[in-house]
Every structure is written in C-alpha cells, then in structure tokens.
Structure 1
Amino acid sequence: MLSPLRLLVFLLGLLAILPSTGAAAHPAPFSYVDLRPGEGSLEGGVTVHVVDLVHDLRIDESTNLLDRGVLDHQYSAIARLLLARLDLRDGNGARLTVKPLALAPVAGDDAVRLTFRAEGKPPAALSVEAHLFDYDPLHQTFVTIYEGNEVAQQMIFSAESRPQTYYAGSVAGVGAVLATFVPAGAHHVLIGPDHVLFILGLILMGGSLRRLTLIVTAFTLGHSVTLALAATGTFAPPAWLIEPLIALSIVVVGLDNLLRKKGERDLRALFAGLFGLIHGFGFAYVLREFGLPQAQLGWALAGFNIGVELGQLAIVVPVALALGWLRGRVPAVANRIAVGGSLAVIAAGVYWFVDRVRNLAG
C-alpha cells in the first residue's frame, strides 16, 4: 500500500505528464487569421496547427509538416485548403481573389503560417467568413483586422457562425455602414407587425400636426436611448421579458383610444416615449444580428435609427393624411375607422401577449 507521501508524489507526477501528453495528441482547437487592409491591397496570414492540417489533408499522421522540405512539398495543397475556407467578399457579395505568398513553420507552436494577398483597393465593407476545420466541433478561428498598427475589429468563428462584416474607418467605410444599417432599420419597422400596430394605434385618433409630431418625436427619443444601451451592451434585458411587454404596449395604446373621453388629457406622447423605451430593446435584438462594427458603432446606430424613422414616416404620413381627409369630409366614417382600428390593435396585442407568455411558460 502506498504511503500518503508516495501517493502525493505519484499524483503530482501524473498531473505534470497529462497536459503535455494531451497537447501532443491534439493542441488547443484554435486557428488565427490576421487581415491588414492597405492602400492598394489586402494582406493577411493564417496560422493553423499541424494536427488539423494533417487530418484534413488526409496525409500520414507521422508526416512532419514542421520540416521545411516536407512543408514546401505540401505548399500547394495547404494553400488551396486554407484559402478555400477563408471567404472574403466586398459589399456587393463578390469574392476577393486571394493569392498565397509564403508558407512557413511557426517555431515552438506546432503550427504553420500561410501569408496571402488580395490585390486592389480593399472594399469599404469587407465580409469575412472563416470555417477552417469544421471536423472538430470545438474548433474556433480568431480573426483580427488591423488599421495600421491598431486593432480595428476582432471576430470569432465556430462551426455555426455566420459571416461578419468589417467597415473601414474612412469616409467610404461610413458610407458602407449607412448603406447597410439605414435600410435595415426601415425594413425592420415595415415588416414588424407589432411595431407597425403600435405606431398606427398612436395616430388613429388623429390630431394636429404639432400633436402627431410630438408623438413621433417621443417614440424616437425613447427607442433611441434603449437601442444604444442594448447595442453597446450597457443594459440589455432578455427578450423573454421585452417581447410580451411590447405586445402589452399595443394593448394599452388601443385601450387609451377607446377609453379617453373628450376633453381629457391626451397621453399618447407620454405613452410613445415610455413604451418607446421598450420597443428600443426589441430593435436592438435585430440590430445585433447584423454584427455591429465596433470601429463604426456610432454610425451604425445612427444609420439604424434613421432607417427606423424613415420606416415610421412611411406609415405615419399616408395614414395621418388619409384620416385627416376623412375627418374633414366624412367624420362619422373616420370615427368608425378609429374605433374599429383600435379594437383590432387591442385584439392583436392581446393575442401576441398571450402567445409570448405561453411560449415563455412552455
């Protein structure tokens, strides 16, 4: 029977051996890509472990890719393999033509590094997708993009990751950001029935131009604040909480339309501002799916907000004009539309609230 001292020595020796044995069998499942946009080209490098290369090249496990002669012999195969799995595209979706430059072992890391270049001025919006070794479900590829010597953006890709976009820190980059996020904001409002019904509910009862402008402005201020908070990670409540509250806000607006008596204070601007705070969190969930460019975060938020406002105006202006015209000529019809519309808004809001709470419970 081992004495406690001998047992301790044995365990310490085992712990010392295990990490090195595991590392020899398979290193940490990571690869690294660096991209450096320049004036007339995009240059970069891919650093990968030899264990991953041996597996996907389907060559003998005893092959020593760290040997210069062996590595040179496999140069073409390695370059084809890696560059085929690194997908770089411009803002129009056209894939960049990337050519290998050199391949060399990385001393002390059991890894090799392939350098490459894409000729021509780098695009202002660069889409990146890097799935290098999907045979390993734990494998991740870390992409770092530099502007000069400064890190401009970092990305992480796993087997399920979608493409991410880098926007250059230039006037052209700002333009590319706005060209992406302004339409995204407008599109989200126009295809989001809950946001559309909330806005319609606010304007069904009509009002002066000043009143309607105040309502829209209050909603804008509300959602802009929480959109920025959530998009920057400062404060972001979970979707399971926000989505039912958005539905509830629609119900409240519809009820206010029906229950507010003539001469009572118009609370629509207050509701627009308060509930705008909740809707802003909803907008942020969509915005995060685009992969926010950290170097151009302010422009991305501004562009998305501008798009949201354009989407709102596309709803508010024609509806307000139509209802105003009806109130001036056939007020009875306009009132019936307002009441019927409010009932529809309430019904939809109740349905969404119950459905979202039920999904939460399930």
Structure 2
Amino acid sequence: MPAQQGSINIQGTSAFVAIALPVSALKQGDQNGDGKLSPLEASVYQSAIAQQVGERVQLFDGTQAGTIDFIQINAESEDKHSQENIGNTNDGARFFLVLIKFSFTTAPQALEIKANFFGKRTGEQQLTIKAIRDAEQEIVILRPGHLQHRFFREPHQVLVDFINTGLHHILTGWDHLAFLLSIVAVAATWRHMLLVTTAFTLAHSATFILSLMDVIPTSTQWYEPAIAASIVFMASLNLIKKELPSNFRLIAVFFCGLFHGLGFASSISDMVINSHHRWWSLIGFNLGIELGQLLFIGLCISVFWMLKHLQNEQEKTPLYYRGANAFALVIGVYFLFQF
C-alpha cells in the first residue's frame, strides 16, 4: 500500500480498511524518536497505536458508527530487501500499514469516513482513500480542512457538493482572482467586458474538460508558472500599454485562460474523484467555478462603478484601475517566484 493511501472494501455488513499512515502523526509508538516505526516498536506498542488509529479513523453508515472488530498494525523497513536491514529490529519506515475490519448491523448504504491522521512532514497532510462497493468505486482525498466524506451519494447530491467545491476553489484561489482582476480593471465598455470574460470562460472550460478526459496531459511543473506569468502579463499590459486593440486583448485573455483551465482540472483531480457520477462531478465543479467568477467580477465592477461616481474621475484610466492592476501584478510576481 503506497504511503498515505488506503482502500475500503465493503462486503455485506462489513467494511475492510487497509491504509498506510504516517509515523509522525503518532503520539506514542516511535520509542526512539527517529521518525520511523520498526517491527519491534510496532509489536511493543501494538495496542497503543491501534487505540490511536481507532480514535482517529472512523466509518459511519449515516449516524451509525461502525464497530471495530480488529485492528492490525504492520511495520517494515523502508528497504526490506536490503542486506543491512535483515534482522535489524531497530530499523523502520516513516509509514506503517493498518488493517481494520468494521461491522455494521446492516449493509452500509450511506458510508462515510472521518479521518484525522495527518503527519507533520511536508507532503503528509493528505490521505487518498478508495471505496469499493460491488461495481462502484469512488476516490476521495482528505485534508486537515476536509476530514469527512460520504461515499456513493445520489447524482443531485454530487452536483450540489461539487458546485460548492468549485465555488470555494475560485473564491479562495488568489492566482485566479488576480487574473480576473487584471481583465476587469480596465476602462472599457460593457460589451468589451462581456466579450473578454466570455473568452476566458470558453478557454478554461475547454482545457478543463479536455484535461479530465485525458486528451491533454497536465503537469504542475509548467502550467502553474504559466498561470502566474499570465497574471504578470495582463497586469503589465494594463499598466504599460494603456491603449490596446480589442482583438488583441481578447486573444491574450483566451490564450491565458487555457492555462487556468489546466489548473482547475488539476485541482478537482487532487481533491475528489467520483468515478460513478464522474460527469455530475465535472459539471458541478465547473458550474461552481463560473458562479464564483461571476460573483467576483460583479463585485469588482460594482466597486469600480462606485469609485467612479464618488471621485468623479475624468481620466481615461482612473487611479483605482492602476492600483488594482498594480496589486494583481504584485500577486503574479509573488506566485511566479514560488517556482
């Protein structure tokens, strides 16, 4: 079982869990404090570790908590085939395998997991869990801000859930918001603003769908810096080149939107994958993105309209437009230097 991944296999009234958990999350068990759990430590602290896991990894069927029949803790060397590790009871690994059997009074119909077992090291802040029930499969990634998940929901529940997920993603994504700010913080007509936002929507929707259909491969090594560069590019154009042909701006926004669509696709792949209702998941997430985008753009336009009437600015490019673009530029440069 790969580190920080697990599976839940439902058979009748039982659920069998296998999951690899980080040693750094243990409060008791790592006796020598080396950040690893050896077979000897796992044997000595079997009961204490099992208790910690039982308290922090739970299954429910609606409001009914699953009864734990047994928990087995397994530890091994990070390189169990190495000659130097054979017979070395002090060696261990940064992750340990847990096998759990849960029982319910009836076959679980509303299976829900609650897990709060995250490590302290970089990259140990998530758990990827696959639930299997007959021909149905669903994968979820749990994080400190998302500890619970209900599997095998109805299509309308999946749609609403992913609309909320998409809405939250866009409204908390400073990179996407900064780009949206750079395309609305211009002195332009309503018709031009509608065309620009439509171009951005069409572009990111196209790459979002094509990426999740595996037509376009995604790699964070290049598209995340490209998103940051798109913010710098658009904000710089607004600050340096005040007069731009409408068609040029439309093409530039559309081209930049292609990269943002790959970012959205990566986000939904990293967060939750509902294979049984995959299209409901994708449609809901994209609708949430569009709703959040409309809310933010509407807020920006309203603020600019109020500032225009309060200050009675006569300049073609008012100061608050320049300030908004400068702010977007700073955010873009910050994200660009993170890579």
Which interval holds the TM-score relative to the shorter structure?
0.5 to 0.7
1:98 aligned to 2:49? no
Deviations 1:263-321 (A, max 9, x none): x3353332332211101222233222323111122111122112212221221112212
2: distance between equivalents of 1:232 and 1:202? 29
1: distance between equivalents of 2:140 and 2:333? 40
1: distance between equivalents of 2:328 and 2:140? 42
2: distance between equivalents of 1:250 and 1:151? 41
Partner of residue 168, structure 1: 152
Give, as a single letter, the amino acid of the residue that structure 2 aligns with 1:331: E
1: distance between equivalents of 2:269 and 2:217? 11
1: distance between equivalents of 2:295 and 2:174? 14
Question: Secondary structure of the residue that 2:251 maps to in structure 1?
Answer: helix
Residue 242 of structure 1: CA displacement?
1.5
1: distance between equivalents of 2:290 and 2:269? 19
Partner of residue 23, structure 1: none
Give, as a single letter, the amino acid of the residue that structure 2 aligns with 1:87: Q
Contact 2:8/2:16 (<8 A) preserved:
yes
Partner of residue 193, structure 1: 174
Deviations 1:219-246 (A, max 9, x none): 2222222223334544333212112211
Contact 2:17/2:101 (<8 A) preserved:
yes
Residue 126 of structure 1: CA displacement?
2.9
Matches within 5 A, 1:16-165: 33-35=8-10, 43-45=14-16, 87-89=58-60, 96-99=64-67, 116-119=103-106, 122-123=109-110, 126-127=112-113, 144-146=131-133, 149-153=134-138, 165=149
**Percent identity over the alignment?**
25
Contact 1:31/1:142 (<8 A) preserved:
yes
Distance 1:128 1:236, change over 3 A: farther
Task: Choose between structure 1 and 2 for higher RCO, CA contacts under 8 A separated by at least 6 residues.
Answer: 2
Contact 1:97/1:118 (<8 A) preserved:
no
Structure 2: tracts of 5 or more residues without a match? 20-40, 45-49, 71-98, 118-127
RMSD across aligned positions (CA)? 4.7
Residue 322 of structure 1: CA displacement?
3.0
Which entry has the higher C-alpha Rg, 1 or 2?
Answer: 1
Partner of residue 280, structure 2: 299
2: distance between equivalents of 1:101 and 1:241? 47
Partner of residue 349, structure 1: 332
Partner of residue 259, structure 1: 241
Distance 1:114 1:240, change over 3 A: closer
1:332 aligned to 2:314? yes
1: distance between equivalents of 2:333 and 2:131? 47
2: distance between equivalents of 1:90 and 1:290? 22
Deviations 1:115-169 (A, max 9, x none): 732548722x7337699xxxxxxxxx996522xx424346899xxxx97846426
Residue 43 of structure 1: CA displacement?
4.4
Question: Secondary structure of the residue that 1:331 maps to in structure 2?
Answer: coil
Question: Secondary structure of the residue that 1:332 maps to in structure 2?
Answer: coil
Residue 250 of structure 1: CA displacement?
0.9
Distance 1:97 1:89, change over 3 A: closer
TM-score by length of 2: 0.63
Distance 1:90 1:202, change over 3 A: farther
2: distance between equivalents of 1:194 and 1:31? 32
1: distance between equivalents of 2:327 and 2:100? 62
1:289 aligned to 2:275? no
Distance 1:269 1:82, change over 3 A: same
Question: Secondary structure of the residue that 2:246 maps to in structure 1?
Answer: coil
Contact 2:14/2:103 (<8 A) preserved:
yes
Give, as a single letter, the amino acid of the residue that structure 2 aligns with 1:240: Q
